[in-house]
Every structure is written in C-alpha cells, then in structure tokens.
Amino acid sequence: MHPRVKTALRRGWRDLDTVQFGMTPAHAMTLGPMDTATGGFLDLLDGARGLPLLRAEGRRMDLPDGHVDALVERLSRAGLVDDAHGGGPAAVALRARPEVLDRLSPDLASLSLITPDPGGAIDRLAARCALRVQVRGAGRVGVTLAALLSGAGVGEVDVRDVGRVRPWDVAPGGLPAESVGERRDAAARRAVRRAAPDRPPRRPDPDGAEPGLSLVVIAPRDDVLVHAPDAGAAEPLMAAGTPHLYTGVVEGTGVVGPLVLPGGTGCARCLHEHRTDRDPAWPRLIAQWRSGRTRRAGACDLTLATAVAGLAAAHALAFLDGESPSGTGVRWEASVPALRWRERPVRPHPACPCGSAERAKGEHASTDGARHATMVVQRPSAERGERTDATRPTGTWRAHV
C-alpha cells in the first residue's frame, strides 16, 4: 500500500485541531482532533512512499509507535485515502499507459469521491475498458453521448443508425460539419474513435465468445419515438435481459430515462400502459403521430441536446460503474428555456408482460425486510450514504459547508 490522500479534495484547517477535506457539501468531511505534527505528516501521504518508509519518517518526526498505521487506517476508513499502487491487473495495465491515465485523471478523481476503498477508483475506471455499449441513433444527442462514453474510457461504443448525415445533425462534441453527406453510422463511429483516450481494444477472438452488451442506449432522432418509446422494438432486449436506457429530445423537452433492467423495473410498455390508463386518447394520438410526416428538423437546440447527452451519459456510466442505477423507474425531463430537470415515475404495470410488477409485488410482500439476493435494483444512494455514515469512525463527520 502506497497511501495517497485523495487529491480530489482540498484541505483546510477549521481550527487548531480539525482538518476539513473538500469544499462542497456533497463530499466534504472534517477529521479531528488532529495535532499539528500529524497534520504535517499528511503531506507525506502522496503515494510516493510505502508503509515501511512512512513509519520511518514518523519515527524521525517523533510520532509515537503505531501512530502512522493508525492514521492511515483512520483515513482509509473515512474514504479519504487512495492506494497509488492499488487495484487489480486491469488497473496495473492502465497505469502502464500514463498518457491515457493523464487524459482520464479528472474522471479518476471524480470516481475517487464515490469509491471509498483505496485502489477502488482506478479499478472502476480500468473496468470500463472491457465494456461494450451500443447507442442506437446518431443525431445530435446520440453521437455526443456516444463520444462522451468513449472519452470516459468505455472500451467499445458502437453507434447504429441509417441514412446520411444532414446539416442539422452536426453538433460540437458530436458529428463534425465535414461529415455532412457521409453515412451516419460510419461518421458517428469516427467521432467515437476520436473521443477515445486510448486506441480501441482489439476485437475479441472470432472463435471465442464475444462478450455481451453491457448497455444499449436508445437515442432516436425521431421525436415521436422519444416521446413514446417503441416497446415492440425493445422486445429482443427484454428477452435477452439487456439493460437499456432511453433518451432524446422532443419538441424542446429533453428526456433521460427510464433505465430499464428487464423484468426488474418499469419498461417502455409499462410506460405506455400507464399513459393509456391515465388518458384514453393516448393510443389514438400515438397512432396519428406515428403515421404523420417526419419533420425536417425537430426543436432540439444545441444546449438542450448537449445537456441531455451529458445527463444520459452520466446515468449510463453510473450504471456501468456499478453504482445505484438512479435512472431506473423514472424519466427525467427538462424543457427550454430553463432546463430545470424534473422526474416522472415509470412504475411497473400489472398488464405488462415484462413481469416487473409481479416482482415489485413480491418484494413488497416480503416481511423480513431483507433484500433479495437476486434483486436487480441496487440499494438507493441515500441508503448507501447512511451505511457509509454508520461505518465512519468517531471523529469523522460530514462537513456542514
């Protein structure tokens, strides 16, 4: 272990014996009591020294025996320490490419804020290299989103679409102006490759088993499909159990979600059934919208498209990184001009064959309060926060800043 105090958080002394790590309420915490000598010792925890060398430095500074180990242990339990040499084989391989790691260093620092274990953040970042994601739709939202996932280190991001790039598909971070007239899928794949911090991993051995898709993002250019996702088109994904995330822009409203974990959370058909329950005219309207002429270019301004792509990519990455999938069972929506995000629930519907309603009922009926080992939905982040708080050592607490 080569302990390094997480560099993502600035340090400051609140008083003579209390250190505050971080500035913002979301991640700041304070540690105390801490004497000045120990505080000075924190500067040595920069990942350059292993524990034996740190103990020797501690003795040289007249710190009591065992003090250095106790300090590192305390900081580790508070989630404030990383291991500069930590992580598994994928992390070691990533460290061997410092130019790639430099590109991803802000992403790694972000991950370090939500990964308490030393070495955990680089493990998560390295794990992205082995993931396969497919993005369906190469418009303003789809290509920007695909490029974001690729730039964040996802190893394979495949974009599917038809036709040729039109002038209104062009977006900063998405398809460049030079690609107008080219095939959409080819131009989108090139944008994805350009965003990648590393050359793409080698294609799997054709004789070997190709790993499945970790996630499919459905980002249609057609605004009717954004407003009313096509449940029929998602049937193969439902049957294969492939997680999928809906996103896009319809008439100046950006949509992110739901993230569907097949059989576990509300799906496109659940959404359709609930809408039909609430509004008997819904199926009639949908039929008219779907049969109407496709508009040349819908209301999808660049800032909205970029905000939508950013939020959708964030939800996708959180899910891929193994975080609580906050996008399940909900559609986030924001409209021009203010883009204030609001969430609309997408609950399991009892008439939907996806089975998520049955599952939800079964879980409600469970009286022992224990979570099922097979439950698809992971614990909500609030619960995770409570658990973290419960295990936090005495003398460490969230800073009220």
Which residues are at the interface with Zn ion (CB under 5 A)? 267, 269-270, 352, 354
Q: Which is nearer to Zn ion, 165 or 354 (CB)?
A: 354
Please report how close the Cβ of residue 21 comes to Zn ion at its closest, in angstroms: 44
Please report how close the Cβ of residue 265 comes to Zn ion at its closest, in angstroms: 8
Q: Which is nearer to Zn ion, 145 or 270 (CB)?
A: 270
Please report how close the Cβ of residue 263 comes to Zn ion at its closest, in angstroms: 8
What does the alpha-carbon distance between residue 239 and residue 264 come to, in Å, rounded to a whole number?
Answer: 13
Please report how close the Cβ of residue 264 comes to Zn ion at its closest, in angstroms: 10
Q: Which is nearer to Zn ion, 267 or 399 (CB)?
A: 267
| Placement of tokens 């419960």 in the chain | 390
Q: Which is nearer to Zn ion, 159 or 267 (CB)?
A: 267
Please report how close the Cβ of residue 230 comes to Zn ion at its closest, in angstroms: 13
Give the DSSP H/E element, type plus range, for residue 68. helix 67-77
Please report how close the Cβ of residue 349 comes to Zn ion at its closest, in angstroms: 6
CB 159 within 8 A of CB 138: yes
Per residue in 211-220, is it b (16+ CB within 10 Å) or e — as a string?
eebbbbbbbb
Please report how close the Cβ of residue 348 comes to Zn ion at its closest, in angstroms: 6
Q: What does the longest C-alpha to C-alpha distance in the chain come to? A: 80
List the structure tokens of 246: 């809906």
Q: Which is nearer to Zn ion, 276 or 335 (CB)?
A: 276
DSSP 209-259: PPPPPSEEEE--SSHHHHHS--TTTTHHHHHHT--EEEEEEETTEEEEEEE
Residue 93: Cβ within 10 Å count: 13
Q: Which is nearer to Zn ion, 129 or 245 (CB)?
A: 245
Strand partners, 158: 134
Q: Which is nearer to Zn ion, 152 or 261 (CB)?
A: 261
The amino acid present at 216, given as its one-letter code, is: V
Q: In degrees rounded to 5, what are phi and psi of residue 266?
A: -55, 135
List the structure tokens of 113: 């804020």
DSSP 338-364: T---EEEE----TT-TT-HHHHHHHHH
Please report how close the Cβ of residue 267 comes to Zn ion at its closest, in angstroms: 4
Please report how close the Cβ of residue 353 comes to Zn ion at its closest, in angstroms: 7
Q: In degrees rounded to 5, what are phi and psi of residue 315?
A: -65, -40
Q: What is the dihedral of CA 88, 89, 94, 97, to 10 degrees?
A: 140
What does the alpha-carbon distance between residue 141 and residue 153 come to, in Å, rounded to a whole number?
Answer: 19
What does the alpha-carbon distance between residue 294 and residue 309 come to, in Å, rounded to a whole number?
Answer: 22
Q: Which is nearer to Zn ion, 184 or 269 (CB)?
A: 269
Instruction: Tell me if residue 153 falls in helix, strand or coil.
Output: coil
Q: Which is nearer to Zn ion, 221 or 274 (CB)?
A: 274
List the structure tokens of 272: 């359709």
DSSP 306-346: HHHHHHHHHHHHHHHTT---TTBTEEEEEETTT---EEEE-
Q: Which is nearer to Zn ion, 5 or 268 (CB)?
A: 268
Please report how close the Cβ of residue 313 comes to Zn ion at its closest, in angstroms: 25
